[in-house]
Structure 1
Amino acid sequence: MPKEVRKHKETIFFGLTARQFFCAVIAVGAAAGIYLGLGPVIGKETASWVCILAAAPVALAGFFHYNGMPLEQFLWAVVKSEFLFAGGRPFASENFYYNLLRRKGGQDFD
């Protein structure tokens, strides 16, 4: 099967996939809510910067892909590799043939 056929993603609105569209709608809604809620309190210019900082991660979640993984799978892989399974991984080899000969023959090869 050709690679371009496997990578096909169905678009629903404005050329966006469903994931991208819903993340964009949530980001716009969060930005509008923050601007309308914080605008009178901290000033419109500061509220607009807070909107950008709040909406950017949500919008990023819809468009981010790394090695075929969406953002949440990528973050889970990072957490697992850096925190949960972090640490040294010592290499210890075992010569199965040597151990088998030693057990069968009853003689010591050391």
Structure 2
Amino acid sequence: MEVKINREIRNYTESMFFGLSMRQFIFSVLACGVAVGLYFLLRPYVGTETVSWMCVLGAAPFAALGFIKYHGMNAEQFVYAWMKSEFLIPKRLIFYPENLYYEILKTSIETHEKEELKKHD
């Protein structure tokens, strides 16, 4: 008997239905429901091939929500973080360079310039 253990314990997901986690299963069922709904809604108006492509395109975002992870965040966490950074708390970052060498030697440079001005007067 062999027991599979993930190398990283935080990546463990319990499979509930058909080897999918509960989240993946729910979003897969939702994607299938959207595809079936689009099929019956659009079938009288457009051809079969067009309806099939519209079903795939309509179901793809829902299927992706269940499976995609970005930087350890699931889809709704990523969308919340993106909306928060872009719309809720936008910041304009401005870079002001500073010459550390000049700041350190500022007093000696100013005194040197004053001495030069006195010599020329």
- Same fold flag (TM > 0.5): yes
Q: Percent identity over the alignment?
A: 49
- TM-score relative to the length of structure 2: 0.67
Q: Displacement of 1:20 after TM fit?
A: 0.3
Instruction: List gaps (5 residues or longer) in structure 1.
Output: 92-110
RMSD, aligned CA: 2.0
Instruction: Work out the CA distance in 2 between the residues paired with 1:3 and 1:86.
Output: 38
* Runs of at least 4 residues off by over 6 Å: none
Residue aligning to 1:46: 50
Q: Displacement of 1:3 after TM fit?
A: 5.3
Instruction: Work out the CA distance in 2 between the residues paired with 1:82 and 1:33.
Output: 33
Residue aligning to 2:113: none
- TM-score relative to the length of structure 1: 0.73
Q: Displacement of 1:87 after TM fit?
A: 2.9
Q: How many residues align?
A: 91
Which of these two proteins has the greater Rg computed from alpha carbons?
2
Instruction: List gaps (5 residues or longer) in structure 2.
Output: 1-5, 96-121
Instruction: Work out the CA distance in 2 between the residues paired with 1:89 and 1:40.
Output: 53
